[in-house]
A = this chain, B = another copy of it.
Amino acid sequence: MIKAGIIGATGYAGGELVRLLANHRETEIVWYGSRSYIDRKYYEVYQNMFRIVEDVCKDDNLAELADQVDVIFTATPQGYLAGILTEEILQKVKIVDLSADYRIKDVAVYERWYGIEHKSPQFIPEAVYGLCELNRNQINGNTRLVANPGCYTTCSILTAYPMVKEGLIDVDTLIVDAKSGTSGAGRGAKVPNLFCEVNENLKAYGVANHRHTPEIEEQLGIAGNCSVTINFTPHLVPMNRGILVTEYANLKKKPDGSLPSWEEIKEVYDKYYGGEKFIRVLEKGCCPETKWVEGSNYVDVGFVVDERTGRIIMMGALDNLVKGAAGQAVQNMNLLFGCRESEGLELVPCFP
């Protein structure tokens, strides 16, 4: 059995890790770290876990934890892990970091967008960006540190990746209009996240300055081997789970001046995703809906070619707490320890 510890086990992403690992046949959680609830029973914080988890919450002592477990999941605020990670810890334990600390390779970009100094940039080069479908071959028994991608990011990148990789769109025209359920905002007690403020409401936020922007740009830039600068606009939607992205880009014309057809583009998506268990490229005429992936590790991707404007509209949907956070973290753990990649993730989406 893989022994796992979670730092930040009582946030929404941490809670989802507990839910997923409860059905993982090769893993056992031995440390439920939660600074806010030390010594309280975990199920008192998440009553859904009554009679399933009997453990009490512990402190978030990373060094002590490193001696006791094989893998640590850090579902912590930005800067936390970077501030305490050491070579000694990494020699003892593998880390899957759900925060943004090691996602961005360019530390100056990280510091500019996050407004904090990076305390341990020396570990950035070895951190693997854990978008499993793209970087699977870099995540294995030798990997010590995985930077688990953000929720918006996973959805935004996977939706456009084949088109960028194959150079079929003009990346300078790429616009990502993203919509998210409210669990992405976390469990902190803030007025804007109160039921009455979110329910029956809709708004954009972080317009032109949301922190997931550079992460999308960097990864798509790697894919396309070019510099990518995009507009990314997140919106808050009155639902618990789910992210939907709608992406717009000018299609490059074919040598004969025509646009590629839906079928030609479908082949490109299938080239990259045809063998992927967790990415479903939808059939013609079908647009992704967040409900169809809820509770599961799937990303659904669809697209429409608009002959009138010459653009492609690409859409992607995932569950922000699963493929957008905890599910992908478990998928990364499976790769790190040589488990079947889908172990613990055979979740059938729940409808309605």
Contacts and interface: CB of A to CB of B under 8 A. Distances in A.
B349 A48 contact: yes
A191 interface: yes
A294 B246 contact: no
A207 B304 contact: yes
B229 A308 contact: yes
Interface in A179-218: 179, 181-183, 187, 189-191, 193-205, 207-208
Contacts of A237: 202, 237-238
A348 B179 contact: no
**Category for how many chain A residues contact B:** 35 or more
B306 A201 contact: no
Nearest to A199: B240
Nearest to A53: B348
A9 to B, nearest CB: 13
Contacts of A239: 199-202, 238
A204 B242 contact: no
Contacts of A196: 12, 182-183, 187, 193, 240, 352
Contacts of A191: 187, 189
A278 B287 CA distance: 35
Interface string A322-347: 00000000000000000000000010
